[in-house]
Structure 1
Amino acid sequence: MIDVYLYSGFLGSGKTSLLLNSIAQLKAAGKKPAVLMNEFGELPVDSDSVSASGDVPLKELLSGCICCTGSEKTEAQLQALLEDYEGIDVILIETTGAAHPVEALDAVYSPLFADRLQVKGIVTVADAPRWLNREELSPRIHSLMLEQIRHAHIIALNKSDLVTDSQLATISMELANLNTSAPIVQTVKGKLDFSFIEKTLSAEKSAQQPIISGKNLPLSSKVILFLNPVKKEDVESWTASLPDTVYRMKGYIPIEGVKNPMLFQYAYGMVNWMPEYVKMPERLVVIGEGIEQIEWID
């Protein structure tokens, strides 16, 4: 499986600097990294820097948020990375500064490649000077910045050279109060040892606990395979019987009397079916807490 790391953080915090440093370290270690970049505007400004860094497989998602309307495009770009390039060891995903990190993971947990990608975790870049002046932000943006910190597995406190030692100590304490489980590393120009990221995220969780929620509750992902066609009403009855700790399901389910598997989506208690016009992999990805024992009852 290919390891996937999500780089989160507010606009201008230094995510691209961290990304470029990670690419250089991975290549020096003899590994082949690939990159998916989510640009906020129409021009691939940041991804030009990645292109200039050498022969690195790169896909872009322009002028669309990876975590909402761009989810299907994100799946397509990830699929293209996997199909167009061979020998990829690591995929680094840089979100826009406007992306909620957990929602951004939704596109990565696609049933199209659930058996090929392993999400290792979220690295959030916090901008030290901006954090000091965060109260000047609008309430919505302020809230997003807090969410990016809360859901991090590692926090890179960047631009630490632009604040005083006293301010740095205060910022570190405030970030630690928001996220008690993520290590905080002070960085300058996004320089962070990738081996630290790799070792920290490998030690922090097992394959059954790929991400940790803001409440420090383990979120798991599980793939359910369908060997035979089923009835839609049976799927909906099964869905209704699941515990409230199942938050999201997405996949392609073979339905009796229907030529191709149908796209099935579940979120916040709502079920949605959509027809597919090509043959898709017959599997369902389930995301939630304590879902290891959930199985399809045929």
Structure 2
Amino acid sequence: MIDVYLLSGFLGSGKTSLLQHLIKQWKAEGKLPAVIMNEFGKLPFDSGAVDGDVPLKELLQGCICCTGSEKTEAQIQSLLLEHNPDVILIETTGAAHPVEALDAVMSPLYADRLQFKGIVSVADSKLWLEKEKLSPQVRMLFLEQLRHAHLILLNKSDLLDENELSTVTSGIQMINDHAMVIQTVHGKLPLSFLKQMIPNVNNSDVTKTRIGNELHLSAKLIKFESTVKMENFENWVRNLPSTVYRMKGHVLIEGQKYPMLFQYAYGMVQWLPEYIKMEPQIVLIGENLKEIEWLRGMAHA
């Protein structure tokens, strides 16, 4: 299993500085980190910050969370085949929504090889104090990046006095009481904090992407051992809690030669035929997924 961390945060918050410090620490431990860097423009502006001996894949001209999802899958598969790293760090653009980004990263094609450890969001301390000056759309994105994080860095904390730091810390904890909030300068974070993101334990029926029990946004891989009636599967989907935001993967439907591509987003279901044999498994993304599973007996209920 290869550990995967998603680095989130608003434009200019210090994600690349964090990335550099983490790479240096993993290399010091003799580990091979690999990086996927998402940038908006045609030129890899931040990619030069990554050492030449670190495997790097770039996603240019688009967000990892929308048009770039297929490219993201291809880049991750390429990293796995060419380098087999010990850890993968994915730095998103400052405009990426964390749920959408996680959806792009956790493909059923390789989910059983990856151990997703969590979302690390970098917050600009000064920007928090001035967030009311942002447009409503930008402010909402800024808050969403913090709301879904598993670990929050209160970066540029040296620019605030004690009262301001207290205000920012309490404000962030009010919108996300699950995440640990750590004050940082120049994105310097000891690797030990990431190692505290303890994986879940597998059970015999469901393979889970391993996020600690204290973390709310998570992903879960469910595998199918036999064919499924489409009607039964869709009934199961309709009865899932509203905290399931995304599902995607392949389901072996009764009467079909190959597993069908299935996608779900906020109540909307889509089926597409496949013409090659794909692994019958789906990835769920959302909150409180621990108790959700597909029961074998439901296939022919």
Q: What's the TM-score, normalizing by structure 1?
A: 0.87
3-state SS of 2:198 partner: helix
Displacement of 1:48 in angstroms is 2.0
Query: CA offsets, 1:211-231, max 9 Å, x none?
Result: 599xx8845543332334444
Query: CA offsets, 1:184-226, max 9 Å, x none?
Result: 2221111111122212x128x666685599xx88455433323
> Structure 2, unaligned stretches of length 5 or more?
203-207
Q: Which runs of structure 2 are paired with 1:21-60 in the superposition (5 Å)? A: 21-50=21-50, 53-60=51-58
2:40–2:93 CA contact under 8 A, matched in 1: yes
- Counterpart residue type for residue 106 of structure 1: D
Displacement of 1:257 in angstroms is 4.7
Cα distance change on mapping 1:192 and 1:220 into 2, 3 Å: closer
3-state SS of 2:112 partner: coil
Cα distance change on mapping 1:271 and 1:49 into 2, 3 Å: same
Q: Which runs of structure 2 are paired with 1:53-202 in the superposition (5 Å)? A: 53-86=51-84, 88-199=85-196, 201-202=197-198
3-state SS of 1:197 partner: helix
Cα distance change on mapping 1:8 and 1:295 into 2, 3 Å: same
* Separation (CA, whole Å) in 2 of partners of 1:178 and 1:241: 28
* Separation (CA, whole Å) in 2 of partners of 1:16 and 1:177: 27
* Separation (CA, whole Å) in 1 of partners of 2:61 and 2:190: 31
| CA RMSD, 1 decimal | 2.5
Percent identity over paired residues: 61
Displacement of 1:2 in angstroms is 0.9
* Separation (CA, whole Å) in 2 of partners of 1:244 and 1:172: 29
* Separation (CA, whole Å) in 2 of partners of 1:99 and 1:212: 23
2:209–2:220 CA contact under 8 A, matched in 1: no
Displacement of 1:75 in angstroms is 1.6
* Separation (CA, whole Å) in 1 of partners of 2:168 and 2:259: 50
1:4–1:92 CA contact under 8 A, matched in 2: yes
* Separation (CA, whole Å) in 2 of partners of 1:236 and 1:280: 20
1:209–1:219 CA contact under 8 A, matched in 2: no
Query: CA offsets, 1:16-52, max 9 Å, x none?
Result: 00001100100001111111111122211111211xx
Counterpart for residue 294 of structure 1:
293
1:151–1:212 CA contact under 8 A, matched in 2: no
> Structure 1, unaligned stretches of length 5 or more?
none
Displacement of 1:133 in angstroms is 1.9
Query: CA offsets, 1:149-184, max 9 Å, x none?
Result: 122221111112223333223222222222223222
- Counterpart residue type for residue 11 of structure 1: L
* Separation (CA, whole Å) in 1 of partners of 2:210 and 2:100: 14
Please say which of residues 22-31 and 103-112 is displaced more in the overlay. 103-112
* Separation (CA, whole Å) in 1 of partners of 2:264 and 2:29: 41
* Separation (CA, whole Å) in 1 of partners of 2:215 and 2:184: 28
